[in-house]
Every structure is written in C-alpha cells, then in structure tokens.
C-alpha cells in the first residue's frame, strides 16, 4: 500500500469515528469518568404548599453544585421521550412517588393528596395508611418491579447511571410569610419565624432499580440568621435567605451522596 493510500485510509477511519461520536447518544460513565446523573424531579409531595419557583430555583442551584463531582444531565435539555414531550411524561413522578412510598420517610398523614392516592393505588388503601413504620437503616431498597424496565430505558435515553429525585417537604419561614420571587420582604418578616428546611432525596441506580433515601434538614435558626446578617447585612431579604438555604442543602446532598448513597447502593 502506497503512502498516499495509507494516509487516505487512516484519515477516512478517523473521520468515521468522529461522525459516529458526534451523532451518538451520551454513554454511561466508565471508571475513569465521573458518574452521570439526571436530576429527574424536584417537587413537593407534602401537605405544606410551596410555590413552583422554589423547585425551579433549587433545580438550578443543585445542578451547579453537583457539577463539581458528576456529569449532570438535565431533563430540560431533552426534547422528548417515547415521542411525548417531557412535560407530559408521567413516569418521573411515578418513580419518585414509588421511591417515597417504599422508603423510610413516607408518612401518610403528612403526604400530599397526589402521594396518598398513589400509595393507595399500589399498596391498597389500608396498607397505604399504615406504611409509616419503616426503619431508616441507611440501606438501599428496590423500586416496584414494574418500574425497573422504565428506569433502565430512561437511563439509556439520557445516558446516565443515576436518577436523582428531591422532595422539598418544607421551608418553614418562607412558607409562613407567603414568600415569592418578585416580592422582597426584609428581616422584619422573619423576626418571629423559625428558619427550618426539610428535604428528602432519592438516588436511583439505573442498572439495578435500587434506591437510596437521604434526608437533609436545617433547623439552626439563630445560626442561619447570624450568617445571613454577616453576608448580606442587617436588612437581608427573604429571597437572600431562600437562596442561601437552598445552596446549603444542595451542598449537603452532594456530600451525602458521596459519603453514604454510593456505598449503600454498592452493598
């Protein structure tokens, strides 16, 4: 083979590989790359009503934090799944609620109507009400068998190893003053309020359908107000408070996943 022919063959092979890599779907991580993770749903399945802005804000904050240690995929970047727009796909809430109901943090009496109805549908009404005594032993558990194939399909479409779900159960002070983006009440609104945050997260391993449930909370009202005053001044706003709290919880979730979730899922 002449030198010119060798060059042509080599160049053609490289070109084919390049085109294939550009058109290919994202691949799951290897031992040499960070885990690929999809933030699948952030919402509130408790009786405490929180406006959608909170979930939207936390979505952005959490994605930025997790990018330090993960390849983070976003549902918002994918146009469709199975031909249906993402906004119309009900599989993500179903997986999230299934993880909650089978996990250690499910409490019927403090659940939203949607979560109660889901629990009743898969457990039966009586069992749905009584499924509140699971011990939080830090061990992984499994989704319902009927959802495992869906999880694997989602993993293949997005090219991810894990799905992350967050249930923002409460942000006490923000809820009590009816906080909303655009409104900008100051510290006076917080004088007699506790600053308390409760978030549960569920990390689902795509290849097995196993789930790790983690619980993040912040109840240090005095310390939080002190930090806010130091950072923003005496007239910090409620939105300053919310952004600070969400960032702190995102950092805790990242650490909890690295320290506990991966170990439990690998056991």
Q: Quote the domain boundaries for residue 128.
A: 30-266
Per-residue CA distances from 168 to 15, 111, 152, 222 (Å): 48, 12, 25, 22
Instruction: Answer yes or no: is 5 within a domain.
Output: no
What pLDDT digit, counting tens, does each position of 60-82 carry?
Answer: 999 999 999 999 987 654 444 44
Rg for the chain, CA atoms, rounded: 22
> Residue 134 — very low, low, confident or very high, per pLDDT cuts 50/70/90?
low
Question: What end-to-end distance do the CA atoms of the chain give, in Å?
Answer: 55
Instruction: Answer yes or no: is 22 within a domain.
Output: no
What pLDDT digit, counting tens, does each position of 15-51 carry?
Answer: 333 333 333 344 445 556 899 999 999 988 987 777 7
Taking each continuous run of H as one helix and of E as one strand, the counts in the chain are: 10, 8
How far apart CA 123 and CA 247 sit, in angstroms, is 36
Instruction: Answer yes or no: is 55 within a domain.
Output: yes
Task: Sort residue 160 into left (φ over 0), alpha (ψ -120 to 50) or beta.
Answer: beta
Percent of the chain with pLDDT over 90: 39
Question: What is the count of structural domains for the chain?
Answer: 1
What pLDDT digit, counting tens, does each position of 190-205 carry?
Answer: 565 667 788 999 999 9
pLDDT at 242: 80
Instruction: Answer yes or no: is 25 within a domain.
Output: no
Question: 138 versus 15: which is more confidently predicted?
Answer: 138
**pTM (predicted TM-score):** 0.78
Instruction: Answer yes or no: is 20 within a domain.
Output: no
> Residue 84 — very low, low, confident or very high, per pLDDT cuts 50/70/90?
very low
Instruction: Answer yes or no: is 82 within a domain.
Output: yes
Instruction: Answer yes or no: is 187 within a domain.
Output: yes
The answer to whether residue 122 scores a pLDDT higher than 50 is yes
Per-residue CA distances from 235 to 104, 197, 239, 243 (Å): 40, 21, 11, 15
Mean pLDDT of all residues in 97-102? 94
Mean pLDDT of all residues in 152-179? 81
> Residue 135 — very low, low, confident or very high, per pLDDT cuts 50/70/90?
low
Instruction: Answer yes or no: is 121 within a domain.
Output: yes
> Residue 131 — very low, low, confident or very high, per pLDDT cuts 50/70/90?
low
Instruction: Report the C-alpha dihedral over residues 36, 91, 86, 72, rounded to 10 degrees.
Output: -10
């Amino acid at each position: 083979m002449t030198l010119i022919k060798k060059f042509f063959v080599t160049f053609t092979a490289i070109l084919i590989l390049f085109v294939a890599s550009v058109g290919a779907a994202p691949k799951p991580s290897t031992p040499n790359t960070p885990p690929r993770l999809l933030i699948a749903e952030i919402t509130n399945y408790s009786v405490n009503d929180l406006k959608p802005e909170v979930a939207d804000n936390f979505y952005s904050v959490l994605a930025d934090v997790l990018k330090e240690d993960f390849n983070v995929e976003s549902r918002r970047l994918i146009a469709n799944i199975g031909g249906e727009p993402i906004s119309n796909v009900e599989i993500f809430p179903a997986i999230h609620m299934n993880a909650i109901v089978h996990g250690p943090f499910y409490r019927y009496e403090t659940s939203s109507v949607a979560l109660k109805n889901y629990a009743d549908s898969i457990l039966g009404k009586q069992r749905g009400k009584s499924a509140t005594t699971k011990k939080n032993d830090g061990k992984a558990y499994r989704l319902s068998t009927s959802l495992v194939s869906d999880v694997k399909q989602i993993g293949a479409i997005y090219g991810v190893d894990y799905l992350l779900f967050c249930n923002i159960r409460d942000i006490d002070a923000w809820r009590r003053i009816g906080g909303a983006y655009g409104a900008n009440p100051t510290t006076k609104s917080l004088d007699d309020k506790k600053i308390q945050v409760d978030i549960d997260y569920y990390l689902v391993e795509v290849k097995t359908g196993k789930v790790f449930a983690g619980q993040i909370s912040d109840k240090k009202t005095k310390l939080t107000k002190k930090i806010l005053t130091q950072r923003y001044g005496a007239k910090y706003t409620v939105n300053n408070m919310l952004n600070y709290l969400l960032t702190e919880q995102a950092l805790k979730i990242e650490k909890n996943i690295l320290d506990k979730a991966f170990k439990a899922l690998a056991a």
